[in-house]
């Protein structure tokens, strides 16, 4: 343990460092999750807008996909991911590993509909990119706040 040394008119005074003053501050799961959800929603909306700006017809079966739809669905499913992490932190023996495995499977499954919808190749690729961008933002932020082991 280290000490802080302060000087007073009577000489140096040793003040012991406590664990509270030396421990790194960590961001709570809810705050990291909220930040991740909002950042992912913004990023997927930018991906969709860039696709649309590049001439990709963001349509499924001839129905346009609104940009706000990317934002809303990303917020919803990212929040579900954060809730999954909170549940795993409470009940899983290895929360981080379990979360990473589950989210890898869920990310892969989220791409399946993009591959089979009635849409152009550009639309499909934009949808896949949006899923991968959202996952690359939310998953690492949340996983970093999970303990490796709880038992």
The Cα 90–Cα 4 span in angstroms is 37
Region 40-50: mean pLDDT is: 98
What are the DSSP calls for the chain, one per residue?
--EEEEEETTEEEEEEPPHHHHSPP---HHHHHHHHHHHHHHHHHHHHHHHHHTT---EETTEEPPHHHHHHHHHHHHHHHHHHHHHHHHH-SSHHHHHHHHHHHHHHHHHHHHHHSSS-HHHHHHHHHHHHHHHHHHHHHHHTTS-S---
Each residue's pLDDT tens digit, 57-96: 999 999 999 999 999 999 999 999 999 999 999 999 999 9
Region 40-61: mean pLDDT is: 97
Region 118-138: mean pLDDT is: 97
pLDDT at 12: 46
Rounded percentage of the chain residues whose pLDDT exceeds 70: 83
């Amino acid at each position: 343990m280290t000490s802080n040394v302060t000087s007073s008119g009577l000489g140096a005074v040793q003040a012991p460092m406590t664990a509270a003053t030396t421990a790194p501050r960590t961001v709570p799961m809810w705050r990291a999750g909220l930040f991740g959800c909002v950042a992912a929603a913004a990023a997927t909306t930018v991906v969709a807008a860039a696709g649309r700006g590049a001439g990709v017809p963001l349509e499924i079966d001839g129905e346009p996909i609104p940009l706000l739809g990317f934002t809303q669905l990303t917020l919803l499913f990212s929040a579900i991911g954060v809730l999954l992490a909170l549940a795993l932190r409470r009940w899983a023996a290895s929360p981080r590993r379990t979360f990473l495995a589950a989210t890898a499977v869920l990310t892969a499954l989220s791409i399946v509909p993009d591959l089979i919808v009635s849409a152009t190749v550009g639309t499909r690729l934009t949808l896949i990119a949006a899923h991968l961008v959202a996952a690359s933002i939310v998953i690492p932020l949340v996983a970093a706040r999970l303990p490796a082991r709880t038992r």
